[in-house]
C-alpha cells in the first residue's frame, strides 16, 4: 500500500516516459511503461541465436532505432527500471521456446567491474533477476570477469576470441552447476564470442546445457 502511494507520488514528480520512444506516458500505458504506439511497432523476432558452446538461444529485438537508444539509457543513464520492462518481453519470448523453458537456473553474462562500479549496478544481473522471478526459478551469480575486456565492436573474429578467451571464470560452487540446464541472460548479443566463452566455462564446470536469451541482437555480426 505504502509502496503504491510512493510510486504514484514519484509518477507525479517525474512523469513516466516510454521505455522505448521516451515520450510521456498517459493512462493505461503508465503501468506498462511502454506507449501503445511502441507496443504496436515493436517486432518480436522469432529466429534463434546461433553460436559456439551454447545449445540454443533466442532474442527479442533487433538492436536498432528506439531499441538501441532504450538499451543505451538502461546501461548508461541509470534507467534501472527498464529491467522489469525488458524482462516482460524476455518472458514472452520464452513462451514458444520449449528448450529454453527447461532451464533449472538463471544466470547472466558478467560485465566489466569498472563499468559496473561507474553505473552502480550490473544491468545484466538486474535483467536476470526479473526473468528468474517470472519463471519461478533460482537466479545465481555463476561467473566473473578475471580481467577487463574491450568492446567487441570493430574487432575481427580472431581478435574477438582473443579478447574474451580466459577472461571469464566460474565464481560459484561447482555443485550449483553440476548437471544443470542454465539460462544465461544478457542485454545485447553481438558476435556470440562472449556468450560462447561463458557457455564454455559453465560447461567445463559441469553444466549440462547452456541457453542464451538476450533483449536484442545486432543486425550484423561484425
Give, in degrees to the nearest 5, the angle at Cα 188 between 185 and 194.
75
In the complex, minimum distance from the CB of residue 157 to Zn ion, in angstroms, rounded to a whole number: 36
Segment interacting with Zn ion, rule: CB under 5 A, options 11-19, 44-52, 89-97, 101-109: 11-19
Per-residue cell: 95 = 513462451
- Which residues neighbour 194 within 8 Å (Cβ) at sequence distance 6 or greater? 109, 149, 152, 164, 168, 186
**Contact residue for Zn ion among 18, 132, 139, 212 (CB under 5 A):** 18
Tell whether residue 38 is a contact of Zn ion (CB under 5 A). yes
Segment interacting with Zn ion, rule: CB under 5 A, options 38-46, 83-91, 105-113, 207-215: 38-46
Considering CB under 5 A, how many residues would be counted as binding Zn ion? 5
**Contact residue for Zn ion among 6, 9, 15, 21 (CB under 5 A):** 21
- Could you tell me the CA-to-CA distances from 201 to 4, 172, 176 in Å, in that order? 42, 12, 14
- What is the crossing angle of helices 65-76 and 82-94, to 10°? 130
**Contact residue for Zn ion among 35, 140, 164, 213 (CB under 5 A):** 35
Chain residues in the site for Zn ion (CB under 5 A): 18, 20-21, 35, 38
Amino acid at each position: 500500500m505504502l509502496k503504491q502511494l510512493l510510486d504514484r507520488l514519484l509518477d507525479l514528480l517525474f512523469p513516466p516516459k516510454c521505455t522505448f520512444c521516451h515520450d510521456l506516458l498517459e493512462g493505461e500505458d503508465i503501468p506498462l511503461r511502454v506507449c501503445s504506439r511502441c507496443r504496436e511497432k515493436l517486432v518480436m523476432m522469432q529466429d534463434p541465436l546461433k553460436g559456439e558452446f551454447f545449445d540454443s538461444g533466442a532474442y527479442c529485438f533487433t538492436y536498432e532505432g528506439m531499441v538501441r537508444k532504450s538499451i543505451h539509457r538502461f546501461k548508461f543513464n541509470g534507467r534501472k527500471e527498464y529491467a522489469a520492462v525488458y524482462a516482460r518481453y524476455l518472458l514472452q519470448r520464452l513462451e514458444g521456446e520449449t528448450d529454453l523453458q527447461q532451464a533449472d537456473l538463471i544466470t547472466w553474462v558478467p560485465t566489466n567491474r569498472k563499468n559496473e562500479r561507474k553505473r552502480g549496478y550490473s544491468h545484466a544481473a538486474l535483467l536476470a533477476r526479473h526473468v528468474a522471478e517470472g519463471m519461478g526459478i533460482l537466479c545465481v551469480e555463476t561467473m566473473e570477469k578475471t580481467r577487463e575486456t574491450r568492446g567487441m565492436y570493430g574487432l575481427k573474429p580472431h581478435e574477438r576470441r582473443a579478447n574474451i578467451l580466459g577472461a571469464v571464470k566460474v565464481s560459484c560452487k561447482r555443485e550449483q552447476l553440476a548437471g544443470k540446464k542454465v539460462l544465461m541472460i544478457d542485454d545485447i548479443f553481438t558476435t556470440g564470442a562472449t556468450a560462447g566463452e561463458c557457455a564454455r566455462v559453465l560447461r567445463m564446470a559441469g553444466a549440462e546445457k547452456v541457453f542464451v536469451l538476450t533483449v536484442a541482437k545486432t543486425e550484423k555480426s561484425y
